[in-house]
A and B are shown apart, each in its own frame.
Chain A
Amino acid sequence: MLEYASYALVLFSLGMYVVLDGYDLGVGMLSLAAGPARRREYGEIVATAWDANESWIILAGVVLWAGLPGAYAVLLPAVYLPLIGMLIAVILRGLGLEMHSAAGGYRRGWALLFGGASLAVAVCQGLVLGAVLTGPRQEGGRFTGGALDWLSPYGVLCALGLVVLYLLAGAAWLQDKTEGWSRSRTRRTGRSLLAATAVLAVALGLLLPGADPQPTALDEPLRAVLFWLAVAVAVGAAAVAWSGFGRAPDWRPFAAVATLTASGLLALAALTAPVVVPPASTVHQVASPHSSQLFLVLGVGLCMPFVLAYNAYAWRSFRGKYTAPAEPALPPPRPVPHTPAPAAAPSGAVRTVLRRTVLVVSGILATAVSQDVFGGVADWIGPLGVALLAGTALAAWIAGDRRDRRAGHFGADPEAEHTP
């Protein structure tokens, strides 16, 4: 049974990823079509949350590895090129986003890199999805196919579908986060993306039996019920999104699109479970041994409520319309008297040479002691020597720091005022 918990964790993480990173990939793609002022704003909307959103695909990946290593080991080599492409695009996207955010103003190059890389990530993910659904060639738990096996018409259609879905989520997110959009234009964009998503979803669904080598088993009653239930929820959510675009409350379209996406994923799972790698590798065959399942499910399961709680907290902190961050100006420091240190009296040449010799010798000795060179003579020399050296450094640090503060070396320190 634990295998199913791992499988559910993978699905849950994947669902969280598609919903959360879906919108920020969508916002990235939409920024390509937006004007310079909006582009910067779109990037900043994503910047507060992309790290957390992207974490979900990493979790999905490692839970798949730990819980279902048989699937991980076959699927990843099978989608080598598109997945590498996705990783490279993820890096470029992070680079564009962070550099643009750090630049302080609009930078065309970074903005285009962010937008273009978002599109590339979505396309590569679609190709990966298509390749997984069409089933990699395998033998004895190892991938045996070719370098371009992932490229199929169905995979291309999947890529298109995922791009449109992410665009839809992005558009819904922007309605919630931004201001100053025109009602009718938002409605038009949202509805046409929704229509495109619906057409592609139906097409992908109808073509699935032809592409997926796994026999579809909709005649099993439980499976059929779950599948049609998920489809019904998706249709309902789509209807809510349809009416919600361009109309208050602004959060409604995104909530609807998120529900739509999640139920779509559930419908797919209802069709294919317990097969993880089509056509026939089931959860049981690819699962890791019991001891690993137990540790994984307990560990991840116990942490999950906390993860969800602080993610929700971070989300709440940035809720509502996006406003340009206004870092408050630094408060002015209080003046401090600066007492310059007296110039060191020049010491004689003999004394200088003597001092330097002593310092060099003691430095070499300290190095030797720290590396336990004298450990052969007595065990305690090393630890005691290190403790003495570190202790001296600590004492010198504390005393020196206090002295420097009193002397006003740290300029703006209010405590320095207390010294006359």
Chain B
Amino acid sequence: MASPAVVELSRWQFAITAVFHMTFPALTVGLSVLLAVVYTVYARTGNPLYLQIFRFWKKIFAVGFGLGVVAGTVMTFEFGLNWGVYAHAVGPVIGVTIGMEVITAFFLEAGFIGLMLYGDGRIRPRTMALACWMVAFGTLLSTTWILSANSWMQDPVGYRKADGQFHAEDWASILLNPAFAHRFPHMLLAVLISAAWFVGGISAWYLVKNRAAAQPMARRCLSLALGVLGVLMPVQLYVGDGTAVFMGQHQLPKLEAFEGNWKSDNNGYNLLVVPDTGRGENRLHVEIPHLGSVIAQDLSGKTTTPGLLQTPPDERPNMWTTFYGFRAMYFTALLMFATAFAGVVLRLRRRLFDSPRFLRWMVWMTPAGIIAITGGWIVAETGRQPWVVYGQLRTADAVSHLSTFEVAASLAGFVLLYVTLLAVWARYIVRTVKAGPEALPTGPAAPDVPEALVA
């Protein structure tokens, strides 16, 4: 049908636009919850510290949210632009799910974001707080629908195929599909965690630099971020493990690829592999012997992990992306867990704010969550190839009738634009952080007496 070049270029374009889009929700979903919480505390107590915190993170949130929205718009249209056959086939299922996302979640965020960002001083604090919660609720709801749609493609259920289309038979099982039950909590925790690292890392930077004006805010936010992380990190490792086990049962080739084995005789845990796809073996691999056995919950060190040679060659995912996506996610997760654990220990030892080495390490952890989320999505998406709807529709058969020129042009455009955009976004974050929060007025409340009278 379509030329292989169009398929490859379209895949690259979708991958790049998806990863780029994902980096924004990875921050803004969690930040919207933080903003709603701190504004509510401010509205209830009148403590200016919380207004200061709100205004500071709002600056980063506003730009991140705007860029996330426009980058997401691209994806909505790409389904039809590049993947016309796919769009026609799954429109009755995925189109409806995404439609519900737009009407329930997207509009909620967009309708209240104006009030949230520009309402300070114009509308009552209680209305402001409501607007903040509506935006936060919208972002969470959006995550829910998107994960439902994506999970259905990972493990399709509740449909009947007719005239080359998927016809919905049972909406409850489509929306609440088995993969969704694992992947939604995993992603929900992930976005909250990644925002917490971002907030915690930047707060730690203020403490490291000993910025006087930002100290109360930095301590407050660091305490909050590490509190959230201490609670959520163990839960996330548990949920993540459950997701990997589920995927191993439902998409065995994905597990074969992300554990980096070709033959099924390895009981070690692969730290590093250099796969040779043509010959079906690893040119190099570094492993911890016997540790791979715990994947199957066998502590004797004897159980082997299944390898990719079990899967027919035309149904194998790419081991490079799947393996290293998984390592990026998992190794970062271990660092995150260790850091959060250290945070709890330091708190118990009452040394959270004056442990310079820990604080400096926290600054390095600022992008940890975003890296892990990106890695995780690379596993999820490249690991199910060559299928776009798992086991039902091949990616190569899903592409639109386009010329190589068109897709190459748009891909070049997106790459150029997104590289620039990432640079602008990173520079904006650095500048905003360096400028610091608006200073809290010092001293006690000044009496309302004109200066002339005092003199």
Known contacts A397-B230, A404-B223; is-contact A91 B417 (Cβ 8 Å): yes
Min C-beta distance of B119 to chain A, whole Å: 7
Sort A-B residue pairs by CB-CB distance and give the 7 closest, nearest first: A69-B91, A411-B216, A393-B230, A66-B95, A76-B80, A376-B297, A397-B227
A249 at the interface (CB under 8 A from B): no
Q: Which residue of B lies closest to A66 (CB)?
A: B95
Min C-beta distance of B428 to chain A, whole Å: 7
Within 8 A of B (CB), among A26-59: 47-49, 51-52, 54-55, 57-59
Number of interface residues of A (CB under 8 A): 113
Min C-beta distance of A394 to chain B, whole Å: 5
Bound-state CA distance A288–B163 (Å) is 11
Min C-beta distance of B355 to chain A, whole Å: 10
Residues B85 and A73 in contact, CB atoms below 8 Å apart: yes
B62 CB contacts on chain A under 8 angstroms: 98, 101-102
Residues B69 and A94 in contact, CB atoms below 8 Å apart: yes
Residues B299 and A377 in contact, CB atoms below 8 Å apart: yes
Within 8 A of A (CB), among B57-114: 59, 62-63, 65-67, 69-71, 73-74, 76-77, 79-82, 84-85, 87-88, 91-93, 95-96, 98-104, 106-114
Known contacts A48-B118, A62-B98, A333-B440; is-contact A98 B81 (Cβ 8 Å): no
Known contacts A77-B80, A370-B237; is-contact A314 B111 (Cβ 8 Å): yes
Bound-state CA distance A95–B106 (Å) is 19
Min C-beta distance of A379 to chain B, whole Å: 10
What are 6 pairs between A and B in contact, CB < 8 Å?
A65-B99, A67-B99, A81-B406, A333-B47, A370-B234, A410-B223
Residues A81 and B87 in contact, CB atoms below 8 Å apart: no
Q: Which residue of A lies closest to B101 (CB)?
A: A62
A209 at the interface (CB under 8 A from B): no
Bound-state CA distance A52–B117 (Å) is 13
Q: Encode contact with B along A275-299: 1 for CB under 8 Å, 0 otherwise.
A: 0000000000000110110011001
Residues A58 and B73 in contact, CB atoms below 8 Å apart: yes
| The one of B76, B121, B223, B294 that contacts A327, using a Cβ cutoff of 8 Å | B121
Min C-beta distance of A299 to chain B, whole Å: 5
Residues B441 and A59 in contact, CB atoms below 8 Å apart: no
A304 at the interface (CB under 8 A from B): yes
B27 at the interface (CB under 8 A from A): no
| The one of B103, B215, B223, B401 that contacts A400, using a Cβ cutoff of 8 Å | B223
Bound-state CA distance A228–B382 (Å) is 54
A300 CB contacts on chain B under 8 angstroms: 99-100, 103
B341 at the interface (CB under 8 A from A): yes
Within 8 A of B (CB), among A154-205: none
Q: A74-B84, A370-B238 are in contact. List 12 more A-B contacts (CB 8 A).
A: A51-B69, A55-B106, A75-B80, A90-B73, A288-B96, A289-B162, A289-B168, A325-B121, A363-B338, A386-B235, A390-B232, A400-B227
Residues B77 and A303 in contact, CB atoms below 8 Å apart: no
Bound-state CA distance A325–B119 (Å) is 8
Known contacts A88-B414, A98-B62; is-contact A61 B76 (Cβ 8 Å): yes
Residues B74 and A87 in contact, CB atoms below 8 Å apart: yes
Within 8 A of A (CB), among B354-387: 354
Bound-state CA distance A389–B45 (Å) is 32
B92 CB contacts on chain A under 8 angstroms: 66, 69, 288-289, 291-292
Residues B91 and A288 in contact, CB atoms below 8 Å apart: yes
Stretch of B179-187, B194-202, B344-352 on the interface side? B344-352
Known contacts A62-B99, A73-B91; is-contact A102 B63 (Cβ 8 Å): yes
Known contacts A377-B299, A390-B234, A396-B344; is-contact A94 B112 (Cβ 8 Å): no
Residues B410 and A147 in contact, CB atoms below 8 Å apart: no
Tally A-B pairs: CB < 8 A: 383
Residues B171 and A331 in contact, CB atoms below 8 Å apart: no
Q: Encode contact with B along A364-389: 1 for CB under 8 Å, 0 otherwise.
A: 00111111111111000011011001
A90 CB contacts on chain B under 8 angstroms: 70, 73
Stretch of B254-262, B306-314, B443-451 on the interface side? B443-451
Residues A59 and B112 in contact, CB atoms below 8 Å apart: no
Bound-state CA distance A296–B108 (Å) is 18
Stretch of B30-38, B48-56, B278-286, B318-326 on the interface side? B48-56
B122 at the interface (CB under 8 A from A): yes
B49 CB contacts on chain A under 8 angstroms: 333, 410-413
Bound-state CA distance A303–B400 (Å) is 32
Bound-state CA distance A80–B347 (Å) is 55
Min C-beta distance of B453 to chain A, whole Å: 20
B394 CB contacts on chain A under 8 angstroms: none
Bound-state CA distance A80–B13 (Å) is 13
A369 CB contacts on chain B under 8 angstroms: 234
A243 at the interface (CB under 8 A from B): no
Q: Encode contact with A along B325-351: 1 for CB under 8 Å, 0 otherwise.
A: 000000000100110111011011011
Bound-state CA distance A74–B400 (Å) is 9
B123 CB contacts on chain A under 8 angstroms: 317
Within 8 A of B (CB), among A311-364: 311, 314, 317-318, 325-335, 341, 344, 359, 363
B337 CB contacts on chain A under 8 angstroms: 366-367, 370
Min C-beta distance of B405 to chain A, whole Å: 6
B276 at the interface (CB under 8 A from A): no
Within 8 A of A (CB), among B261-309: 294, 296-299
A332 CB contacts on chain B under 8 angstroms: 48, 440-446
A330 CB contacts on chain B under 8 angstroms: 48, 51-52, 55, 438-441
A141 at the interface (CB under 8 A from B): yes
A81 CB contacts on chain B under 8 angstroms: 406, 409-410
Residues A367 and B338 in contact, CB atoms below 8 Å apart: yes
Bound-state CA distance A390–B233 (Å) is 8
A419 at the interface (CB under 8 A from B): no
B220 at the interface (CB under 8 A from A): yes
B403 at the interface (CB under 8 A from A): yes
Bound-state CA distance A307–B103 (Å) is 8
B114 CB contacts on chain A under 8 angstroms: 47-49, 51-52, 314, 317-318
Q: Which residue of A lies closest to B439 (CB)?
A: A330
Min C-beta distance of A407 to chain B, whole Å: 9
Residues B297 and A375 in contact, CB atoms below 8 Å apart: yes
Known contacts A69-B95, A91-B71, A341-B350; is-contact A84 B413 (Cβ 8 Å): yes
A371 CB contacts on chain B under 8 angstroms: 237-238, 240-241
B231 at the interface (CB under 8 A from A): yes
A108 at the interface (CB under 8 A from B): no
| The one of A76, A310, A409, A414 that contacts B45, using a Cβ cutoff of 8 Å | A414
Bound-state CA distance A295–B446 (Å) is 60
Q: Which residue of A lies closest to B68 (CB)?
A: A94
Residues B444 and A327 in contact, CB atoms below 8 Å apart: no
A146 at the interface (CB under 8 A from B): yes
Residues A98 and B417 in contact, CB atoms below 8 Å apart: no
Bound-state CA distance A199–B69 (Å) is 36
Residues A396 and B348 in contact, CB atoms below 8 Å apart: yes
A72 at the interface (CB under 8 A from B): yes
Min C-beta distance of B1 to chain A, whole Å: 9
A400 CB contacts on chain B under 8 angstroms: 223, 227, 347-348, 350, 352
A25 at the interface (CB under 8 A from B): no
Known contacts A58-B102, A73-B84; is-contact A289 B165 (Cβ 8 Å): yes
B421 at the interface (CB under 8 A from A): yes
Q: Which residue of B lies closest to A407 (CB)?
A: B350
Residues B91 and A72 in contact, CB atoms below 8 Å apart: yes
Bound-state CA distance A339–B379 (Å) is 50
